[in-house]
Amino acid sequence: MNKILMWILISLAILVSFFVAFVVYESFQASHMVIKKPAIYLYPLEDSLIKVQLNINGKIINDIPAYENGWTVFVTKEGLIDNRYDYLFYEAELNQIKLPNDGWVVKSEELNNWLDTNLLKLGLNDKEKNQFKEYWLNELPKSNYYEIKLFEDKFLKENMDLIVSPQPDTTIRLNFYFKPLKEKSNIQEPKIVTPKRNGFTVVEWGGVLDN
């Protein structure tokens, strides 16, 4: 009898250990996610030398051109960077992720039209919208639905702050969270307020894929 009890206790201890390890792993995965392809567009009022720095709560794992201690680039008023790039590119592993409660659940067949409509409402122009779609429609795995959320400005400021000099007049930062879903879920949709572009404008888009 004592042997049976001992084996039951050992089995329970093993199950508890596996459960704790799973919870810790899931927590680590949820808090250490890669922000994929934030693309930073710069639109000065006149051809200018611009310095861009990132304050990442985590680490930069990819960059074009090389980030080093920041980017110092020459940008035309049309937005061409160093006579070569449409945007500055980086990817970063963040130490934490905090999601808003609201968002959208979009059917796979409707995603393309949803992006066409809502990216413009959220402040992108046609070029930025098309480059966003070119990347993300290829990056997202096939799924019945997608949960889409938009990281709040407070989270961006605290975890992936963007510091630009000279200071822009308008900053638009759209960093999304994408999660494939098998079934539709109901969440409250946020109200979209379309920003106005005035003066020197900086635009950023990117996202996290929760697979």
Position 109 scores a pLDDT of: 97
User: Per-residue confidence at 201, pLDDT binned at 50, 70, 90?
Assistant: very high
Q: 200: closest CA among 65, 49, 83?
A: 49
Percent of the chain with pLDDT over 90: 84
7-21, 23-37, 90-104: segment of lowest average pLDDT: 7-21
Identify the weakest region by mean pLDDT among 31-40, 54-63, 118-127, 155-164. 31-40
Structure pTM? 0.85
How much is the pLDDT for 30? Answer: 43
- The confidence score (pLDDT) of residue 211 equals 84
Q: 44 or 8: which carries more pLDDT confidence?
A: 44
Q: How confident is the model at residue 206 (pLDDT cuts 50, 70, 90)?
A: very high
- Quote helix, strand, coil % in the chain, to nearest 5: 30, 35, 30
Task: Provide the pLDDT for residue 3.
Answer: 59
Span 44-53, average pLDDT: 98
State the average pLDDT over residues 13-27. Answer: 39
Strands (E), the chain: 33-43, 48-56, 58-64, 71-75, 88-94, 104-107, 145-150, 160-165, 170-181, 201-209
The stretch 65-85 carries a mean pLDDT of: 97
Average pLDDT value for residue range 5-13: 58
Give the separation between CA 176 and CA 151, rounded to whole angstroms.
6
End-to-end CA, the chain: 46
Cβ neighbours for 16, distance < 8 A, ≥ 6 positions apart: none
